[in-house]
Structure 1
Amino acid sequence: MYTINAMPEQVPAEDLDLLSGVETATVGHWRLMGFMNRAIQPLLPGRRVVGTAVTLAIAGPDSTLLHHAAGLLRPGDILVIDRLGDDKYACWGGGVTVAVKASGATAGIVDGPCTDLTEIIDSDFPMWSRGLSPITTRIYDLGGGMNIPVSCGGAVVMPGDAILADESGVLVVPRNEVRAVAEKALGMQERGKQREASVRDRVEKLGDLSGASAKVLAKLGPA
């Protein structure tokens, strides 16, 4: 059986533009939910992408629905694939990469392995996955779901959520929280740059700025 729901409304471009300046690690300074398991890592280094989540749930050795979904994607979409616990079969390889990139989609994220790393690199298509596997899926017509709630790397992903992915990992942000998260993170990053410059120029010490030295000295007591 297949469950295929309508394509989600895309996150407003101005919100994604704001989010594109954010590092996932900055959000990780205060937010605990929405981060995918750290085992889901980029296959192409030095990339940061933002987009609208289009979700897919496919099981085991079958990728029939993925091939169909590749023809439905839009520019700005990020395809997020829940492999329903499978860590053996690579559902994503060179051929899927070509098809998904041709749709204009921004990136792919797989809670499982990929294959054909060289072809993915040659296609210059950003991908996040749990590594690589030489054992691939087939067209077994076993069913699946598209644009349904999924779990990817332990994070709940709803179709239409915003995705921020970079070299540190992948973050899922509900669409109605994107602007608030981005504005807070950008403010933190700006203050961080100022603090780093102060430490670099030896104007101040990191322990003084963070408050760590005061805590240590308080525990040590009077000299």
Structure 2
Amino acid sequence: MSIDALPLDAEIVRALSGVTTATLTTILLKKGLRNVWLRGAMPLVPGQPRLVGRAFTLRFVPAREDLATPASWGAPISTRAAIEAMPEGCIAVVGAMGVTDAGIFGDILCARMQKRGVTALVTDGVVRDVAGVLGTDLPIWCQGAAAPPSVAGLTFVGWQEPIGCGGVAVFPNDVIVADADGAVLIPAALVDEVVALAVEQERFEGWIMDQVNAGQQLPGLYPPNEENKARYEAWAKDKR
């Protein structure tokens, strides 16, 4: 199964670019979704901006000697072919089963992704040729680097199908937000609702921080009692 990649509205990208992954996990928790943070997918280098995009999924399974060979890199089903199917603006989400001793992508593949306008690479695995990868300027969230190639520990089997990445079920066209705290998934069907709630939550927490900086005590402020709710609503009314 291969699912067509969908674009993501620029206004959604703009809104989510101002929302932390910490806030998103809280919003999703309130909606009953606890397992949305992709374990192991952390910024390869510090200081990367928060990025947003629809998930373009790639799936690896354990290496099998007759399939995981250098010759497989030229097969119709290969990471190379998957990269050529990636649309501009997507986030490549690669399920590598948490394998950390075989690099899924190196500098050449990352350079091609960057040229195609891919927003970022997110994986629970690792990359290789790390000096060259950093030179491509492709933002990457992963578990680090390893010298061996992917076929030393993994077999690539497909793209744009449901995957597991960092213990999270990721479906094509779900939305990924990645920042210094890692990468968080928003189910595609919940994006509009989550955006509205998250933007309001960021506004509210900004007001809370202003109150803390002014010397306010936390009890009754965070979470707010009725008096502070009314104070916030009066303040927010003027800002909307």
TM-score of the two chains, using structure 1 as the length reference: 0.83
Q: How does 1:202-221 map to 2 (within 5 A)?
A: 202=215, 204-210=216-222
Percent identity between matched residues is 27
Aligned 8 A contact 2:53 2:91 in 1: yes
2:157 corresponds to 1:144: yes
Q: How does 1:114-193 map to 2 (within 5 A)?
A: 114-138=127-151, 144-193=157-206
SS of the residue aligned with 1:59?
A: strand
2:137 corresponds to 1:109: no
* 1:42/1:142 CA distance change after superposition, 3 Å: closer
SS of the residue aligned with 2:26?
A: coil
TM-score of the two chains, using structure 2 as the length reference: 0.78
Which residue number in structure 1 is paired with residue 50 of structure 2?
48
- Looking at structure 1, the residues matched to 101 and 154 of structure 2 have their Cα atoms a distance apart, in angstroms, of 18
- Looking at structure 2, the residues matched to 139 and 130 of structure 1 have their Cα atoms a distance apart, in angstroms, of 17
Look up the equivalent residue of 1:209 and give its one-letter code: L
Shift of 1:77: 0.9
- Looking at structure 2, the residues matched to 201 and 177 of structure 1 have their Cα atoms a distance apart, in angstroms, of 36
* 1:166/1:140 CA distance change after superposition, 3 Å: closer
Look up the equivalent residue of 1:36 and give its one-letter code: L
2:4 corresponds to 1:7: yes
Aligned residue among 56, 59, 62 for 2:61? 59
Aligned positions, number: 207
* 1:141/1:22 CA distance change after superposition, 3 Å: closer
* 1:156/1:42 CA distance change after superposition, 3 Å: same
The two structures, once aligned, show a CA RMSD in angstroms of 2.4
Which residue number in structure 2 is paired with residue 216 of structure 1?
none
2:102 corresponds to 1:89: yes
Shift of 1:60: 4.5
Aligned residue among 209, 214, 217 for 1:196? 209
SS of the residue aligned with 1:189?
A: helix
Shift of 1:95: 1.2
- In structure 1, the gaps of 5 or more residues are 213-223
* 1:119/1:22 CA distance change after superposition, 3 Å: same
- Looking at structure 1, the residues matched to 180 and 207 of structure 2 have their Cα atoms a distance apart, in angstroms, of 23
- Looking at structure 1, the residues matched to 175 and 81 of structure 2 have their Cα atoms a distance apart, in angstroms, of 23
Shift of 1:18: 2.0
- Looking at structure 1, the residues matched to 25 and 96 of structure 2 have their Cα atoms a distance apart, in angstroms, of 25
SS of the residue aligned with 1:109?
A: strand
Question: Which stretch of the first structure deviates more once superposed, 151-160 or 60-69?
Answer: 60-69
Aligned 8 A contact 2:60 2:154 in 1: no
